[in-house]
Structure 1
Amino acid sequence: KDPHIITYEQDQLILLDIVKRQLSYEKAPFAEVKRLSEQLGISCKQEVAVFHDWTSFYKWYQAVSHDDTIKEEGYVIEDARGFMTKLKLPYYQFWKQMRGMKQRVAEKRSSQKFMQALQTAEQARFYTWLLEQEADHVRNSSIIELRSQFEQSGTAQLNNDGINA
């Protein structure tokens, strides 16, 4: 019922992989995935970075894992043997948590105990802002709509002194 956390201009189909239909897992090389996406006229996943040593990967991993300005869901990390894992980025994780908070507030299940569980000033600002909104508005709005209103309200911003603007 709630849209994806990340805002997209329009719905689109993105080819992620070509997996062979057989008992043992095997997928096509990335070059073949790109070729097929061009042939079909659809978007294809993007290769963001290739690392040839652990140190380079770890530096990249540390940088993106702490960068809340990257407004993407995350990355799929794949090793040379094809093992894959997802890395969810801070912006996505934050707003996914805030969607849960929105639902609690909309259902009037917020409490002092819940407020004590907030870990960052940004979480507390959003929670306080939500409580100031009409209950029906919170209930009937998506997290994307509420995020946009929150960001436009100025509550999300701090001035140079670190005080709520």
Structure 2
Amino acid sequence: MENRRGYSVYQIALHWLIAVFVLFQLFFGESMTTVVDAVENGQPVSTTDQALGSAHYWAGLAILALVLLRLVLRLASGATASANRGPRWMQLAAHALHGLFYMLLLATPVAGLLAFYVGDPWGDIHSLAKPALIVLIAAHALAALYHQFWLRDGTLKRMLSPAG
């Protein structure tokens, strides 16, 4: 149900808050691996790695909760109308990219929790999310810049300022 022209302040805030948490995870998430490996090998864990590992756990839970909230908000208020009525392939690519984002942003924390509490193979599955997210983020950012500077259709502006 596409009915609105822009995003609400809540949708924009959730988008950027999730983005910040995901970037934190991508940059500092390896500390969780360091902690798990050290514990499995009976080695001491540095205070920094312990703190970052703990932050990784809680940031993952935050991502899961915020994405669920974002989906509830989307279901309650509907999706925004496309800023650009471009070629069909571009619309399909945008829907596919967003669908993959939602899927990964839900599945990754769940796999991480399963890895933490159950163990393998969930840790290996969880670690596959990092390169997938990097590719999706790059595609998403490039598409936003393409819309902003090539098509000049206002797509990027809609995620920076709420609909009036």
- Do they superpose with TM above 0.5? no
Q: Highest CA radius of gyration, 1 or 2?
A: 1
The TM-score, its normalising length taken from structure 1, stands at 0.27
Higher relative CO (CA 8 A, sep ≥ 6), structure 1 or 2? Answer: 2
The TM-score, its normalising length taken from structure 2, stands at 0.27
Which has more strand, going by share of residues? 1
